[in-house]
Every structure is written in C-alpha cells, then in structure tokens.
C-alpha cells in the first residue's frame, strides 16, 4: 500500500514538473512569437553588451531551438558560449568550455573554430591553481594551446596563446620547484635531478627561471657532475646576469675549479 502511495506521489511530482516546463516553454513562445532570428540575435547581443547574461542566453537558446535552418545558428552557438565565459566564475568557465567544445564538433570548418579552441584554453587558464595545489587546469591549458597550434597553425590567436602558454609553464615549473626543494632538503638528489630534467626538456625556454638553473647546477655539483654543473652556472650568468642567483652561481662555479 505504501509503495502504491509513493508511486502516486512520484507520478504527481513528475506531472507537475512537466507541466511547469511546458508552461515555461509556451510562455517563451508567446514572449518571442513574431520575432525573426535576426531580431532575436540582435537583441541577445544588446543584452550581452549590457552584461545581462541570463537574458542574452534565453534569446540565443530560443533562436537555436526554434530556427533550425537559420544562418545565425553558428553565431548564436558561439555567442551562447561567450555569455558564460564573460560572466566568469568557476562554474561558468566549466560550462563555457563544454559549449566551445560542442561548437567545434558541430562546426569544425568554421572560421571561428580557432577562436573557440583558444577560448577553451582560457577557460582552463582562468581556473589554474597556485603552485603547491592540483595543477590539472595548468596541464589542460597547455594541452589546449598545443591543440590550437597543431590544428590551426595559421590562427591569429597563436601569438597571444603562446603568452598564456609561457605563463602556464611558469606556474607549473614553480609547482615543480616546490617538490624539488622537498627532495633537496632530504638530500634525495636523483629524484630532484629527474624533475629538473623534465622541466628543461618540456618547458619553453622563456619559462625557465634563474632559480631553476641555479638549483639544478648546485644539485649536479653535489652528485659530482662538476662539468655539467659548470654549464648551467655559466648559462645562468649569461641569461640572468642581474639575478641574485647569478652572483651565487659565480661563487659556486669558482669553487668548482
């Protein structure tokens, strides 16, 4: 008997939800009835300029759901993703990333596909955690930018994307240095060296800091790789002559003689 009553309640709840959804859809239809796709799109853009994100999304969504043959579908889909990105916030960046990905899948040959890919990178970049915390969004940023460069080699967004790529690597390298210093304090030279080698092998040279060169050279010196350490001490002095690490490197290199 209880199970029957429960089933009835569930049925009533579902019926109410469906009714509300249908009512909402009917209200929207009445609200925008008589609008052309161009009018809907233009009004959505006006709302976006005023940072009225919800209103803009409502119009764009209505356009996409009711004008299947519209030439504005691509633009509406991209603008829909943009509303979430421009509004900002972690949840919105996650949604906008999904929307940009959908855009690329739906319109892989679009002239704006590279823009969507660049925006995917920015969605992740805006969620990057500080060194010492989970770096998943740093890796996702790097991968998204590499995908942009690989898939759209002539994109006008590449130059700007490379700046974000360097920043992402700088953050990742600072994170790696925290781990390396943990090893160095415990005199675990080999794991530290492996981390240094990973940084030097995978990172753009612009993201390599004076600190990385200095501690790598010092660690090589500690394990008896004197000639290798000299190379990095010299490299440090050449690339960062005014750095405090350059002065220390000069002293350490002299001690190697």
Rounded to two decimals, what is the model's pTM?
Answer: 0.85
Nearest to 137 by CA among 147, 153, 126: 126
Task: Please write the tens of the pLDDT for every residue from 86-129.
Answer: 999 999 999 999 999 999 999 999 999 999 999 999 999 999 99
Model pLDDT, residue 16: 46
Cβ pair 96, 89 in contact under 8 A: no
Task: Please write the tens of the pLDDT for every residue from 22-64.
Answer: 444 445 555 888 899 999 999 999 999 999 999 999 999 999 9
Q: What is the mean pLDDT of the chain?
A: 90
Residue 104: CB atoms within 10 Å: 18
Nearest to 152 by CA among 122, 181, 114, 189: 114
Residue 217: CB atoms within 10 Å: 27
Rg, the chain, Cα only:
27
- Domains of the chain are 52-62+73-171 (1.25.40.10)
Question: Where residue 250 falls among pLDDT bands split at 50, 70, 90?
Answer: confident
């Amino acid at each position: 008997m209880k199970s029957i009553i429960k089933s009835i309640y569930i049925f009533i709840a579902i019926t109410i939800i469906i009714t509300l959804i249908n009512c909402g859809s009917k209200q929207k239809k009445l609200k925008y009835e008589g609008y052309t796709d161009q009018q809907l799109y233009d009004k959505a853009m006006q709302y976006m300029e005023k940072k009225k994100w919800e209103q803009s999304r409502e119009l764009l969504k209505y356009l996409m759901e009711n004008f299947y043959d519209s030439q504005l579908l691509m633009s509406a889909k991209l603008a829909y993703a943009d509303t979430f990105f421009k509004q900002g916030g972690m949840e919105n960046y996650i949604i906008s990333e999904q929307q940009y990905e959908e855009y690329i899948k739906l319109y892989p040959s679009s002239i704006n596909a590279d823009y969507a890919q660049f925006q995917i990178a920015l969605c992740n970049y805006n969620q990057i955690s500080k060194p010492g915390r989970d770096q998943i969004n740093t890796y996702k940023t790097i991968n998204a930018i590499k995908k942009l460069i690989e898939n759209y080699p002539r994109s006008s967004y590449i130059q700007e994307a490379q700046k974000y790529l360097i920043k992402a690597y700088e953050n990742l390298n600072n994170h790696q240095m925290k781990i390396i210093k943990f090893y160095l304090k415990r005199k675990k030279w080999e794991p530290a060296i492996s981390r240094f080698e990973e940084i030097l092998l995978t990172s753009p040279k612009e993201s390599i800091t004076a600190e990385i060169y200095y501690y790598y050279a010092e660690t090589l010196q500690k394990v008896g790789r004197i000639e290798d350490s000299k190379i990095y001490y010299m490299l440090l002095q050449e690339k960062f002559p005014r750095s405090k690490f350059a002065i220390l490197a000069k002293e350490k290199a002299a001690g190697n003689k």
